[in-house]
Structure 1
Amino acid sequence: MPPAGDRDLGTECMVIPTYDEVDNIERVVGELRAAQPDVHVLVVDDGSPDGTGEVADKLAAADDHVRVVHRREKAGLGAAYLHGFQVALDAGFDVVGEMDADGSHRPDQLGRLLAALRDADVVIGARYVRGGEVVNWPLSRQVLSRGGNLYVRLLLGLRLKDATAGFRVYRRSALETIDLSSIRSTGYVFQTELAHRAVQAGLRVVEVPISFVEREYGESKMSGAVAVESLKRITAWGLAERRRQVERWAEQRGGRS
C-alpha cells in the first residue's frame, strides 16, 4: 500500500503514458514531483525505441515515488491509460490522475484539480472554460479541437466544454463505477468515452481552467486518421443514445395509452 497522502483525498498517483518522449519525460516528472511532492508518478511506456523507458527507469531508481511499467508495443493512448489505471488501483491508490508526457499539461496546475476533487468524483483540466487557454496552437488545430468538443456536446448531450481533455483526476470509486474492463476505446477517443461514462453513471464531473501549452520537443501523436476514428466512434455512441431516447419515449407513450 502507498503511504498516506492528502488527508481529504487519500493517496494520489498520476499516470503518464509515453512513446518516444525521451526529450520530455525527465523534465515533466521532475516538475511534477517538485509541484506535488506527495503525489506518486506511474510512467507507462509503450516500448519507446528512443530510450524513453530507460530514462524513466533511472528516475524510478532515484525516487521511490516514481514507478515504470513497460509495455511491449505501442497499442494506443487509451490502452496505456487503462493499463496504468489498473496498476494504480491494484496498488491501493485513492486518487488516480492522467497527464501528457510532452509538457503540454503544467504540473504546477495539478493542485487546482486536486482541490476541486474534494467536492467531485472526476475533475477535468479544461481549456475551453472561462480562465482556460491554449498556448502556441495554430488556428486550424484550435478550430478542430473546439469543433470536436462541440460535436461531442451536440451528439452525446454532454454539458462539458472539454470532454476530449487529457489532464484529469479521478476518485478510486469513480473508476470502479465506470468499470474500466468494459472500455473498448484504445486511442484518443478514450478521453471522451470516460467522460461520457462518468456522466451517464451520475458521477459529479467538474471542469477547472488550465493553460494548455503546445509541446516544445518531439512530435505530436495526433493525426488525421486519429481524428477520423474519434469522430466515427462518437457518432456511433450518439446514434445509439438517440435510439435509446426514442425507445424510452415510445415506452412512456405506450404506458399512458
Structure 2
Amino acid sequence: MVIPTYNEAANLAWIVGRLRAAQPTVDVLVVDDGSPDGTGAVADDLAASDAQVHALHRTTKEGLGAAYLAGFAWALEHGYDVIGEMDADGSHQPEQLHRLLGALLDADLVIGSRWVPGGSVVNWPWQREALSRGGNLYVRLLLGVTVRDATAGFRVFRRTTLEKLHLEDVRSTGYVFQTDLVARTLNAGLSVREVPIEFVERVRGESKMSGAVAVESLRRITAWGLRERWGRLRRRGAERRPLELTGSGAQGYSRR
C-alpha cells in the first residue's frame, strides 16, 4: 500500500500500525514530500523496525498525484502484483482493506466508495458531503462514466492495470489525479468495481482539503474532461471517415 504524506507525524505510526495489524502480509510504502514536521523521520523509524515498511523521500511538495506516481513507479520496479493507495490520516480504515482485495479477484481496479449503497461518511458537515456528491455527479456527467466515487483515494490496482495506463503520460498531479486514473482505466477497456466503505473524517492534524482546493479540483477536472471528450469526438470522426481511392486505379488511397 502506498501512503503519501505531508505533515502527518501525528498520524503515521498509528495508521501504519493499524494497517500492519489488519493485513500482516501487506507491505507499506510511505512517500513523504519533505514534510517539515518530521514525518519523514517517523517513516524512517518505522522502516528500520519493520522490514515490510519502506520510506521514499521526495524533496518538494508537488501534489498528491505526483507522490502516487513516484510510489507506483517504486512498487512496479520492485515487482509487486497488487498496488494500493490510502490516506495517512485514518479516513481510510485499514480494517476494511480486505473488502477491496477480495473484489480485485474479478476486477482491474477496486475503489473503496463512500457513495454506493452501504458506503458512508462520519463527522462530515452537510456542506462537504454535498460538495463531494455533487462533484462526483459532475464527473459522471462530464466523462460519461458510471463510477459513483471517482474522486476516492482508497483503492487497489492490479499491476497489469497500471502497466496499461501509460503512467509516464499522466500530467495531473493534484486531486484530479484520482479521477484521471479512473477514466484511463475505463478507456483502456478495463473493469472498475466499487465496494462500500465507511470514511471517517480525521481527528488529528489538519485536512489538506478545503473549499478552495475542491473548487480548483473541479476547475481542473472540467478543463481536462472537456479536452478528453473533444479528443474522443475527433478520434471517432476520423474513424468514421470513408476511404477514397486517389490517383489511377488502386495505387494509392487517402482518407477524406
Within 2, Cα distance between the matches of 1:173 and 1:250? 30
State whether residues 187 and 226 of structure 1, in contact with CA within 8 Å, keep that contact through their aligned partners in structure 2: no
Hey, what does 2:199 align to over in structure 1?
Answer: 212
Identity of aligned residues (%): 67
Hey, what does 1:78 align to over in structure 2?
Answer: 65
Hey, what does 1:48 align to over in structure 2?
Answer: 35
Hey, what does 2:148 align to over in structure 1?
Answer: 161
Structure 1 residue 118 corresponds to structure 2 residue 116: no
Hey, what does 1:9 align to over in structure 2?
Answer: none
- The equivalent position to 1:198 in structure 2, one of 182, 185, 193, is 185
AA partner of residue 180 (structure 2) = E
Tell me the SS of whatever aligns to 2:110.
strand
Q: Deviations over 1:54-112 (max 9, x none)?
A: 11111111100000011111111111110011001101100110000000000010001
Structure 1 residue 61 corresponds to structure 2 residue 55: no
Within 1, Cα distance between the matches of 2:192 and 2:173? 22
Hey, what does 2:130 align to over in structure 1?
Answer: 143
Within 2, Cα distance between the matches of 1:249 and 1:111? 40
Hey, what does 1:240 align to over in structure 2?
Answer: 227
Hey, what does 2:246 align to over in structure 1?
Answer: none
Within 2, Cα distance between the matches of 1:56 and 1:203? 34
Max Rg structure: 2
Superposed CA RMSD in Å reads 1.7
- The equivalent position to 2:87 in structure 1, one of 88, 96, 100, is 100
Tell me the SS of whatever aligns to 1:118.
helix
1:53 Cα deviation from its structure 2 partner: 1.1
State whether residues 47 and 72 of structure 1, in contact with CA within 8 Å, keep that contact through their aligned partners in structure 2: yes
Q: Could you say if the C-alpha distance between residues 142 and 252 of structure 1 is closer, same or farther in structure 2, counting changes exceeding 3 Å? A: same
Q: TM-score, normalised by structure 1?
A: 0.90
Within 1, Cα distance between the matches of 2:139 and 2:74? 29
Unaligned stretches of 5+ residues in structure 2: 244-256
1:246 Cα deviation from its structure 2 partner: 4.2
Unaligned stretches of 5+ residues in structure 1: 1-13
1:230 Cα deviation from its structure 2 partner: 1.6
Within 2, Cα distance between the matches of 1:58 and 1:236? 42
Q: TM-score, normalised by structure 2?
A: 0.91
Within 1, Cα distance between the matches of 2:61 and 2:239? 47
